Structure 1
Amino acid sequence: MKLVILDRSGVINEESDENMKAIAEWRPIPGSLEAIARLCQAGYRVFIASNQSGIGRGFYDYDALFAMNDRLQKMVGEFGGRIDGIEFAPDSPDEPSEMRKPSPGMLKDLARRFQVSLEDVSFVGDSAPDLLAARSAGARPVLVRTGKGSRTEIEHELHGAAVYDDLAAFVRVTLAAH
Protein backbone atom coordinates (compact mmCIF):
# COMPACT_ATOMS: atom_id res chain seq x y z
CA MET A 1 0.00 0.00 0.00
CA LYS A 2 1.32 3.43 -0.96
CA LEU A 3 0.66 5.76 1.93
CA VAL A 4 1.38 9.42 2.76
CA ILE A 5 0.58 11.06 6.08
CA LEU A 6 0.12 14.81 6.31
CA ASP A 7 -0.09 17.31 9.10
CA ARG A 8 -3.06 19.61 8.46
CA SER A 9 -2.49 23.21 9.55
CA GLY A 10 0.48 24.75 7.79
CA VAL A 11 0.65 21.92 5.23
CA ILE A 12 -2.87 21.73 3.77
CA ASN A 13 -4.47 24.87 5.18
CA GLU A 14 -3.17 28.23 6.28
CA GLU A 15 -1.67 28.27 9.77
CA SER A 16 -3.03 30.63 12.40
CA ASP A 17 -1.11 31.55 15.55
CA GLU A 18 -4.45 32.37 17.16
CA ASN A 19 -5.98 28.90 16.51
CA MET A 20 -8.71 28.65 13.94
CA LYS A 21 -12.01 28.59 15.75
CA ALA A 22 -14.55 28.25 12.95
CA ILE A 23 -15.01 26.88 9.47
CA ALA A 24 -15.03 30.43 8.05
CA GLU A 25 -11.38 30.78 9.08
CA TRP A 26 -10.28 27.58 7.29
CA ARG A 27 -8.41 28.37 4.05
CA PRO A 28 -6.43 25.91 1.94
CA ILE A 29 -2.85 26.70 0.96
CA PRO A 30 -2.82 27.27 -2.81
CA GLY A 31 -2.14 24.01 -4.64
CA SER A 32 -2.51 21.76 -1.59
CA LEU A 33 -5.91 20.29 -2.44
CA GLU A 34 -4.86 19.56 -6.01
CA ALA A 35 -1.68 17.93 -4.69
CA ILE A 36 -3.70 15.59 -2.46
CA ALA A 37 -5.91 14.68 -5.43
CA ARG A 38 -2.82 13.89 -7.54
CA LEU A 39 -1.54 11.56 -4.82
CA CYS A 40 -4.91 9.76 -4.74
CA GLN A 41 -5.04 9.48 -8.51
CA ALA A 42 -1.55 7.93 -8.44
CA GLY A 43 -2.78 5.22 -6.04
CA TYR A 44 -1.69 6.69 -2.72
CA ARG A 45 -3.84 6.58 0.39
CA VAL A 46 -3.69 9.92 2.18
CA PHE A 47 -4.11 10.32 5.93
CA ILE A 48 -3.87 13.29 8.27
CA ALA A 49 -2.26 13.29 11.73
CA SER A 50 -2.86 16.63 13.40
CA ASN A 51 -2.57 18.19 16.84
CA GLN A 52 -5.79 20.06 17.59
CA SER A 53 -4.99 21.69 20.91
CA GLY A 54 -7.72 24.28 20.34
CA ILE A 55 -10.14 21.67 21.64
CA GLY A 56 -8.15 21.06 24.82
CA ARG A 57 -7.70 24.78 25.31
CA GLY A 58 -11.42 25.45 24.83
CA PHE A 59 -11.01 27.61 21.68
CA TYR A 60 -13.40 25.42 19.67
CA ASP A 61 -15.33 22.19 20.05
CA TYR A 62 -15.45 18.86 18.22
CA ASP A 63 -18.33 20.06 16.02
CA ALA A 64 -16.20 22.94 14.72
CA LEU A 65 -13.26 20.59 14.05
CA PHE A 66 -15.49 18.10 12.24
CA ALA A 67 -16.99 20.91 10.15
CA MET A 68 -13.48 22.00 9.10
CA ASN A 69 -12.54 18.41 8.25
CA ASP A 70 -15.78 17.96 6.29
CA ARG A 71 -15.01 21.09 4.31
CA LEU A 72 -11.52 19.73 3.59
CA GLN A 73 -12.97 16.41 2.38
CA LYS A 74 -15.48 18.14 0.09
CA MET A 75 -12.90 20.50 -1.37
CA VAL A 76 -10.39 17.68 -2.03
CA GLY A 77 -13.24 15.68 -3.59
CA GLU A 78 -13.88 18.49 -6.05
CA PHE A 79 -10.40 17.80 -7.45
CA GLY A 80 -10.98 14.04 -7.58
CA GLY A 81 -9.15 13.15 -4.36
CA ARG A 82 -9.99 12.02 -0.86
CA ILE A 83 -8.60 11.88 2.64
CA ASP A 84 -8.71 8.24 3.77
CA GLY A 85 -8.61 9.06 7.47
CA ILE A 86 -7.96 11.81 9.97
CA GLU A 87 -6.22 11.23 13.30
CA PHE A 88 -6.12 14.12 15.73
CA ALA A 89 -4.91 14.78 19.24
CA PRO A 90 -7.22 17.19 21.09
CA ASP A 91 -4.84 17.52 24.04
CA SER A 92 -3.67 20.79 25.45
CA PRO A 93 0.13 21.15 25.26
CA ASP A 94 0.09 21.34 29.07
CA GLU A 95 -1.41 17.85 29.36
CA PRO A 96 -0.18 15.90 26.33
CA SER A 97 -1.06 12.26 25.68
CA GLU A 98 1.01 9.75 23.74
CA MET A 99 -0.98 10.78 20.66
CA ARG A 100 0.06 14.44 20.67
CA LYS A 101 3.04 15.22 18.47
CA PRO A 102 6.02 15.16 18.98
CA SER A 103 5.05 11.75 20.37
CA PRO A 104 4.55 9.22 17.56
CA GLY A 105 1.21 7.83 18.80
CA MET A 106 -0.97 8.94 15.87
CA LEU A 107 1.50 7.63 13.31
CA LYS A 108 1.99 4.33 15.11
CA ASP A 109 -1.78 3.95 15.42
CA LEU A 110 -2.17 4.32 11.64
CA ALA A 111 0.59 1.78 11.05
CA ARG A 112 -1.00 -0.66 13.48
CA ARG A 113 -4.49 -0.30 12.02
CA PHE A 114 -3.32 -0.81 8.46
CA GLN A 115 -0.59 -3.32 9.36
CA VAL A 116 2.10 -1.41 7.50
CA SER A 117 5.64 -0.41 8.26
CA LEU A 118 6.19 3.32 8.20
CA GLU A 119 9.73 2.89 6.88
CA ASP A 120 8.77 4.00 3.36
CA VAL A 121 5.99 6.36 4.42
CA SER A 122 6.52 10.12 4.29
CA PHE A 123 5.06 12.25 7.05
CA VAL A 124 4.80 15.81 5.76
CA GLY A 125 4.75 18.58 8.35
CA ASP A 126 5.75 22.16 8.98
CA SER A 127 7.10 21.99 12.54
CA ALA A 128 9.77 20.40 14.70
CA PRO A 129 7.17 18.24 16.53
CA ASP A 130 6.09 16.85 13.15
CA LEU A 131 9.67 15.90 12.28
CA LEU A 132 10.25 14.35 15.72
CA ALA A 133 7.04 12.31 15.51
CA ALA A 134 8.02 11.02 12.06
CA ARG A 135 11.48 9.95 13.25
CA SER A 136 10.13 8.34 16.44
CA ALA A 137 7.55 6.36 14.44
CA GLY A 138 10.09 5.22 11.85
CA ALA A 139 8.55 7.30 9.04
CA ARG A 140 10.40 9.59 6.63
CA PRO A 141 10.29 13.18 7.92
CA VAL A 142 9.42 15.79 5.29
CA LEU A 143 9.30 19.53 5.98
CA VAL A 144 7.37 22.03 3.88
CA ARG A 145 8.18 25.73 4.11
CA THR A 146 4.53 26.74 4.35
CA GLY A 147 2.94 27.42 7.74
CA LYS A 148 5.72 27.36 10.33
CA GLY A 149 8.06 25.49 7.99
CA SER A 150 10.40 28.32 7.00
CA ARG A 151 10.92 29.20 10.66
CA THR A 152 11.39 25.54 11.55
CA GLU A 153 14.03 25.17 8.83
CA ILE A 154 16.02 28.05 10.31
CA GLU A 155 15.55 27.33 14.02
CA HIS A 156 15.84 23.51 14.21
CA GLU A 157 18.25 20.81 13.20
CA LEU A 158 16.56 18.89 10.39
CA HIS A 159 18.68 15.71 10.64
CA GLY A 160 18.26 14.73 7.00
CA ALA A 161 14.58 15.62 6.59
CA ALA A 162 13.64 16.34 3.00
CA VAL A 163 12.55 19.98 2.53
CA TYR A 164 10.11 21.32 -0.09
CA ASP A 165 8.56 24.72 -0.68
CA ASP A 166 5.04 23.34 -0.25
CA LEU A 167 2.90 20.21 -0.46
CA ALA A 168 2.53 20.59 -4.23
CA ALA A 169 6.33 20.52 -4.69
CA PHE A 170 6.61 17.41 -2.48
CA VAL A 171 3.93 15.66 -4.54
CA ARG A 172 5.55 16.61 -7.87
CA VAL A 173 8.89 15.14 -6.78
CA THR A 174 7.31 12.06 -5.17
CA LEU A 175 5.23 11.20 -8.23
CA ALA A 176 8.14 11.82 -10.62
CA ALA A 177 10.27 9.37 -8.59
CA HIS A 178 7.68 6.59 -8.77
Structure 2
Amino acid sequence: MKLIILDRDGVINQDSDAYIKSLDEWIPLPGSIDAIARLSKAGWTIAVATNQSGIGRGYYDEATLQDMHDRLLQLVAEQGGKVDLIRYCPHAPDAGCDCRKPLPGLFRQIADELDHSLDGVPTVGDSLRDLEAGCAVGCTPYLVRTGKGASTEHKTLPAGTRVFDDLAAVVDHLLES
Protein backbone atom coordinates (compact mmCIF):
# COMPACT_ATOMS: atom_id res chain seq x y z
CA MET A 1 0.00 0.00 0.00
CA LYS A 2 1.23 3.47 -0.90
CA LEU A 3 -0.05 5.70 1.90
CA ILE A 4 0.05 9.48 2.35
CA ILE A 5 -1.17 11.47 5.34
CA LEU A 6 -2.40 15.00 4.74
CA ASP A 7 -3.16 17.84 7.09
CA ARG A 8 -6.44 19.56 6.21
CA ASP A 9 -6.57 23.31 6.94
CA GLY A 10 -3.88 25.11 4.94
CA VAL A 11 -3.09 22.06 2.81
CA ILE A 12 -6.42 20.96 1.32
CA ASN A 13 -8.55 23.99 2.12
CA GLN A 14 -8.05 27.59 3.13
CA ASP A 15 -7.03 28.17 6.72
CA SER A 16 -8.12 30.92 9.08
CA ASP A 17 -6.81 32.11 12.43
CA ALA A 18 -10.51 32.49 13.32
CA TYR A 19 -11.07 28.78 12.51
CA ILE A 20 -13.06 27.18 9.72
CA LYS A 21 -16.42 27.07 11.51
CA SER A 22 -18.95 26.33 8.78
CA LEU A 23 -19.37 24.58 5.47
CA ASP A 24 -19.42 27.99 3.75
CA GLU A 25 -15.98 28.76 5.22
CA TRP A 26 -14.54 25.44 4.02
CA ILE A 27 -13.02 26.47 0.68
CA PRO A 28 -10.63 24.11 -1.14
CA LEU A 29 -7.28 25.53 -2.19
CA PRO A 30 -6.77 25.72 -5.97
CA GLY A 31 -5.60 22.36 -7.30
CA SER A 32 -5.90 20.46 -4.02
CA ILE A 33 -8.98 18.38 -4.84
CA ASP A 34 -7.59 17.40 -8.24
CA ALA A 35 -4.24 16.54 -6.63
CA ILE A 36 -5.88 14.19 -4.12
CA ALA A 37 -7.92 12.57 -6.88
CA ARG A 38 -4.85 12.07 -9.08
CA LEU A 39 -2.95 10.43 -6.24
CA SER A 40 -5.92 8.23 -5.39
CA LYS A 41 -6.36 7.15 -9.01
CA ALA A 42 -2.65 6.27 -9.09
CA GLY A 43 -3.26 3.73 -6.31
CA TRP A 44 -2.37 5.73 -3.25
CA THR A 45 -4.31 5.46 0.01
CA ILE A 46 -5.23 8.94 1.22
CA ALA A 47 -5.55 9.68 4.92
CA VAL A 48 -6.20 13.03 6.59
CA ALA A 49 -5.04 13.90 10.12
CA THR A 50 -6.35 17.23 11.37
CA ASN A 51 -6.52 19.18 14.61
CA GLN A 52 -10.05 20.55 15.05
CA SER A 53 -9.85 22.26 18.43
CA GLY A 54 -12.70 24.54 17.36
CA ILE A 55 -14.97 21.72 18.52
CA GLY A 56 -13.41 21.67 21.99
CA ARG A 57 -13.55 25.46 22.09
CA GLY A 58 -17.27 25.44 21.21
CA TYR A 59 -16.92 27.25 17.85
CA TYR A 60 -18.67 24.48 15.88
CA ASP A 61 -19.92 20.96 16.47
CA GLU A 62 -19.00 17.53 15.12
CA ALA A 63 -21.99 17.54 12.75
CA THR A 64 -20.64 20.70 11.10
CA LEU A 65 -17.19 19.12 10.84
CA GLN A 66 -18.78 16.04 9.26
CA ASP A 67 -20.49 18.29 6.70
CA MET A 68 -17.08 19.71 5.76
CA HIS A 69 -15.58 16.26 5.47
CA ASP A 70 -18.55 15.03 3.43
CA ARG A 71 -17.95 17.93 1.02
CA LEU A 72 -14.28 16.95 0.74
CA LEU A 73 -15.20 13.32 0.03
CA GLN A 74 -17.82 14.40 -2.53
CA LEU A 75 -15.49 16.76 -4.40
CA VAL A 76 -12.69 14.20 -4.59
CA ALA A 77 -15.17 11.52 -5.74
CA GLU A 78 -16.42 13.84 -8.48
CA GLN A 79 -12.82 13.88 -9.77
CA GLY A 80 -12.67 10.08 -9.73
CA GLY A 81 -10.69 9.66 -6.51
CA LYS A 82 -11.33 8.97 -2.85
CA VAL A 83 -10.16 9.89 0.60
CA ASP A 84 -9.81 6.63 2.48
CA LEU A 85 -9.66 7.82 6.08
CA ILE A 86 -10.09 11.04 8.05
CA ARG A 87 -9.04 11.27 11.69
CA TYR A 88 -9.34 14.43 13.75
CA CYS A 89 -8.59 15.70 17.22
CA PRO A 90 -11.62 17.58 18.61
CA HIS A 91 -9.89 18.59 21.83
CA ALA A 92 -8.93 22.04 23.05
CA PRO A 93 -5.18 22.50 23.59
CA ASP A 94 -5.41 22.09 27.37
CA ALA A 95 -7.35 18.80 27.23
CA GLY A 96 -4.26 16.66 27.72
CA CYS A 97 -5.05 14.26 24.87
CA ASP A 98 -2.46 12.37 22.84
CA CYS A 99 -4.12 13.05 19.49
CA ARG A 100 -3.51 16.80 19.17
CA LYS A 101 -0.60 17.42 16.84
CA PRO A 102 2.37 17.73 17.43
CA LEU A 103 1.68 14.55 19.40
CA PRO A 104 1.40 11.52 17.11
CA GLY A 105 -1.91 10.03 18.33
CA LEU A 106 -3.82 10.70 15.08
CA PHE A 107 -1.01 9.10 13.09
CA ARG A 108 -1.06 6.05 15.34
CA GLN A 109 -4.84 5.78 14.84
CA ILE A 110 -4.32 5.81 11.07
CA ALA A 111 -1.54 3.20 11.28
CA ASP A 112 -3.69 0.95 13.47
CA GLU A 113 -6.82 1.28 11.36
CA LEU A 114 -4.96 0.62 8.11
CA ASP A 115 -2.62 -1.94 9.70
CA HIS A 116 0.29 -0.19 8.03
CA SER A 117 3.73 0.94 9.17
CA LEU A 118 4.30 4.68 8.89
CA ASP A 119 8.05 4.38 8.24
CA GLY A 120 8.79 6.60 5.26
CA VAL A 121 5.14 7.45 4.63
CA PRO A 122 4.87 10.99 3.23
CA THR A 123 3.02 13.43 5.45
CA VAL A 124 2.07 16.85 4.13
CA GLY A 125 1.48 19.84 6.38
CA ASP A 126 1.73 23.60 6.55
CA SER A 127 2.83 23.89 10.18
CA LEU A 128 5.70 22.62 12.28
CA ARG A 129 3.33 20.61 14.49
CA ASP A 130 2.02 18.70 11.44
CA LEU A 131 5.54 17.69 10.48
CA GLU A 132 6.62 16.90 14.05
CA ALA A 133 3.65 14.58 14.59
CA GLY A 134 4.49 12.62 11.45
CA CYS A 135 8.21 12.50 12.17
CA ALA A 136 7.51 11.08 15.64
CA VAL A 137 6.22 7.90 13.96
CA GLY A 138 8.71 7.71 11.10
CA CYS A 139 6.91 9.63 8.34
CA THR A 140 8.77 11.65 5.71
CA PRO A 141 7.85 15.35 6.13
CA TYR A 142 6.63 17.51 3.26
CA LEU A 143 5.94 21.19 3.91
CA VAL A 144 3.66 23.16 1.61
CA ARG A 145 3.86 26.95 1.38
CA THR A 146 0.07 27.32 1.45
CA GLY A 147 -1.76 28.12 4.68
CA LYS A 148 0.86 28.84 7.35
CA GLY A 149 3.58 27.12 5.32
CA ALA A 150 5.32 30.24 4.00
CA SER A 151 6.05 31.37 7.56
CA THR A 152 6.76 27.82 8.77
CA GLU A 153 9.43 27.48 6.08
CA HIS A 154 11.61 29.96 8.00
CA LYS A 155 11.56 27.88 11.19
CA THR A 156 13.87 25.00 12.03
CA LEU A 157 12.26 22.12 10.14
CA PRO A 158 12.65 18.42 10.91
CA ALA A 159 15.59 16.81 9.13
CA GLY A 160 14.77 15.73 5.62
CA THR A 161 11.76 18.03 5.18
CA ARG A 162 10.95 18.64 1.53
CA VAL A 163 9.33 21.98 0.67
CA PHE A 164 6.83 22.51 -2.16
CA ASP A 165 4.56 25.37 -3.21
CA ASP A 166 1.33 23.42 -2.68
CA LEU A 167 -0.26 19.99 -2.51
CA ALA A 168 -0.43 19.73 -6.31
CA ALA A 169 3.36 20.16 -6.50
CA VAL A 170 3.87 17.43 -3.86
CA VAL A 171 1.60 15.09 -5.83
CA ASP A 172 3.44 15.90 -9.08
CA HIS A 173 6.70 14.97 -7.34
CA LEU A 174 5.33 11.73 -5.87
CA LEU A 175 3.80 10.61 -9.16
CA GLU A 176 7.06 11.30 -11.02
CA SER A 177 9.17 9.36 -8.47
Partner of 1:89: 89
2:70 aligned with 1:70: yes
Q: What's the CA shift for 1:160? A: 2.1
Normalising by structure 2, we get a TM-score of: 0.97
Q: What's the CA shift for 1:108? A: 1.3
Q: What's the CA shift for 1:94? A: 1.9
Partner of 1:118: 118
Task: Point out the more displaced range, 88-97 or 53-62.
Answer: 88-97
Q: What's the CA shift for 1:93? A: 1.1
Partner SS for 1:16: coil
Task: Point out the more displaced range, 153-162 or 100-109.
Answer: 153-162
For 1:46 and 1:96, the matched residues in 2 are separated by 28
2:33 aligned with 1:45: no
Amino acid at match of 1:50: T
For 2:107 and 2:100, the matched residues in 1 are separated by 10
Compared with structure 1, are the counterparts of its residues 78 and 138 closer, same or farther at alpha carbon in structure 2 (3 Å cutoff)? same
Q: What's the CA shift for 1:152? A: 0.5
Identity percentage of aligned residues: 50
Partner of 2:25: 25
Normalising by structure 1, we get a TM-score of: 0.96
Q: What's the CA shift for 1:111? A: 1.1
2:171 aligned with 1:171: yes
Partner of 2:16: 16
The Cα RMSD (Å) is 0.9
For 2:155 and 2:43, the matched residues in 1 are separated by 35
Q: What's the CA shift for 1:120? A: 2.5
Residues 20-66 of structure 1: CA distance to partner in whole angstroms, max 9, x if unpaired?
11101110000000000000110001010000000000000011100
Instruction: Provide structure 1 residue ranges, at least 5 long, that are not aligned to the other structure.
Output: none
Partner SS for 2:65: helix
For 2:170 and 2:49, the matched residues in 1 are separated by 17
Instruction: Provide structure 2 residue ranges, at least 5 long, that are not aligned to the other structure.
Output: none
Partner SS for 1:137: coil
Amino acid at match of 1:147: G
Residues paired across the two proteins, number: 177
Amino acid at match of 2:159: H
Task: Point out the more displaced range, 104-113 or 29-38.
Answer: 104-113
